[in-house]
Amino acid sequence: MKIIVVGCGKVGDKLCGDLSREGHDVTVVDKSDTVVNQVCDRYDVMGFCGNGASYKVLMDADIEHADLVIAVTGADEVNLLVCLIARKAGHCQTIARVQNPEYNQEAGFFKEELGLALLINQEFASAQEVARVLKFPSAIEINTFAKGRAELLHFRIPRDSILDGMTLNDLHERLKCHVLVCTRERDGEMLIPQGDTVLQSGDVISIVAPGDEQAEFFRKIGLDTHAVKNTMIAGGGDIAYYLSRILLRSGIQVKIIEKDLKRCEQLAERLPKATIIHGDASDKELLAEEGIDRVDSFVALTGIDEENVILSLLARSKGIRKIVTKVDREAFADVFDQLDLDTMIAPKNITAEHILTYVRAMQNSFGSNIETLHRMMDDQAEALEFYIRDSFTHQDIPLKDLKFKPGVLVGCISRGGKIILPRGDDEIRAGDTAVIITTLKGVSDIDDIFAK
């Protein structure tokens, strides 16, 4: 497809790399000539320097032949205007990123009136992801499917765990839990395990389990399943605001430390049930005074990755039960991974996943429709949810009789509101949604997972 990306910040840069690697014809537009040149040098994309909200600039970028325009500049109003002009000038699909909490409440209006295909608030999406792991702190990451009814939970096997040295076949026989182990990560390598795969302490595994089986499984392997009771948040940006709203509604106490006085006043007005502290979260004495030793969880959301990492290491030294760290710079991703920082989130990656889901849905065939996409372990694998249409050619055939490509696992099937952990005799039917775990690249239709 021909795609125009307006805005070359962290998200725009990430999208250009992802989309060009998947074979799309990408053109990038940004006001900075230097930034445009850097992106064009790194990826196989075209570039134009100028205001993306300008009709002339968009025409120069060949808006008339574009299939999709993605507006991810740092200004919400510019993104919305870009999409409005693109719809009028090019008659193409449009995606806009917004950050302002006021606009988040009006998402439905903007989508309908401006004809947007997708409106993304990456701060709100990031807050939702953090809230999920705070409510289930043993998990490093939780990916949701089937409108929240199915979850893929990633967790690290602790030292001296009952799982250490156990094969997957042994796991099912000894624990008597209805769970499916979908991936295993060890020493930077990911694989989709088989029955004879051996688990070790330190491995990160992902599982799918029905809701009532999750807690039982974690209890049997000795991991905590209770939500945190309180949290301390370093940094009072929009992610902290959205996260606090979610946690407070769940009865979780929130304390935010923010160095900007005006922002503290805004947060105090918007979040009357939260405790807002004016101060520098990197001040060790302030953290001690505010009770960092007594909180269940710590979330580092300042605008500086290095500060977030240092604060999280400090929190870990205090024995805090759950730690979440926001990092956005991929240059140091390998270093951060080695620090074992529990849960790390990258808002730009969350935004990119949402957009890639829509892009692949645009290009797939009539057999299925991609609903959700989550990338895992530095893009080594993906978890994709497909809605199965009547024209799907492999329906009503037992899974054991289907020939899948290597590196494919059917994680779960959602049918009539019920989650099915598939066995060999189970079938994929029209109207189902199926979650596929795969190491294949660029899967856009469920037919792509079958061998010819």
Of 187-191, 295-299, 320-324, the range with the lowest mean pLDDT is 187-191
Residue 445 has pLDDT above 60, yes or no: yes
Of 1-10, 173-182, 194-203, the range with the lowest mean pLDDT is 173-182
Say if residue 440 is in the same domain as residue 387.
yes
Residues written for the chain: 452
Residue 365 has pLDDT above 80, yes or no: no
**DSSP symbols for 164-203:** TT-BHHHHHHHH----EEEEEEETTEEE---TTPBP-TT-
Say if residue 105 is in the same domain as residue 7.
yes
**Within a domain: residue 283?**
yes
Among the candidates 97, 120, 143, a domain finishes at 120
Say if residue 381 is in the same domain as residue 433.
yes
**Within a domain: residue 204?**
no
Q: pLDDT digit string (tens) for 344-358?
A: 999 999 999 899 888
Among the candidates 95, 120, 145, a domain finishes at 120
**Within a domain: residue 93?**
yes
Say if residue 236 is in the same domain as residue 334.
yes
Residue-range definition of the domain harbouring residue 405 = 360-449
Distance CA 223, CA 220 (A): 8
Say if residue 335 is in the same domain as residue 374.
no
Residue owning tokens 């405790």: 275
Say if residue 336 is in the same domain as residue 381.
no
Nearest to 300 by CA among 278, 323, 280, 322: 323
pLDDT band at 412 (very low <50, low <70, confident <90, very high): very high
Say if residue 98 is in the same domain as residue 18.
yes
Q: What CATH number is given to the structural domain containing 64?
A: 3.40.50.720
Residue 282 has pLDDT above 90, yes or no: yes
pLDDT band at 111 (very low <50, low <70, confident <90, very high): confident
Among the candidates 320, 345, 370, a domain finishes at 345
Query: What's the whole-number mean pLDDT along residues 35-50?
Result: 94
Residues β-bridged to residue 216? none
Query: Residue 188's pLDDT is what?
Result: 83
Residue 253 has pLDDT above 70, yes or no: yes
Residue 210 has pLDDT above 90, yes or no: no
**Within a domain: residue 74?**
yes
Residue owning tokens 């993906």: 382
Residues β-bridged to residue 3? 26, 68
**Within a domain: residue 295?**
yes
Query: Residue 165's pLDDT is what?
Result: 94
Say if residue 375 is in the same domain as residue 330.
no
Q: What are the distances in angstroms from CA 156 to CA 130, 183, 223, 308?
A: 17, 12, 10, 21
Q: What CATH number is given to the structural domain containing 437?
A: 3.30.70.1450
Say if residue 7 is in the same domain as residue 92.
yes
Say if residue 370 is in the same domain as residue 328.
no
Nearest to 8 by CA among 31, 25, 42, 41: 31
Query: What's the whole-number mean pLDDT along residues 388-406?
Result: 92
Query: Residue 368's pLDDT is what?
Result: 58
Query: Residue 437's pLDDT is what?
Result: 95
Query: Residue 378's pLDDT is what?
Result: 76
**Within a domain: residue 193?**
no
**Within a domain: residue 280?**
yes
Q: Does residue 109 sit in helix, strand or coil? A: helix
Looking at the 3D structure of the chain, how many domains does it have? 3
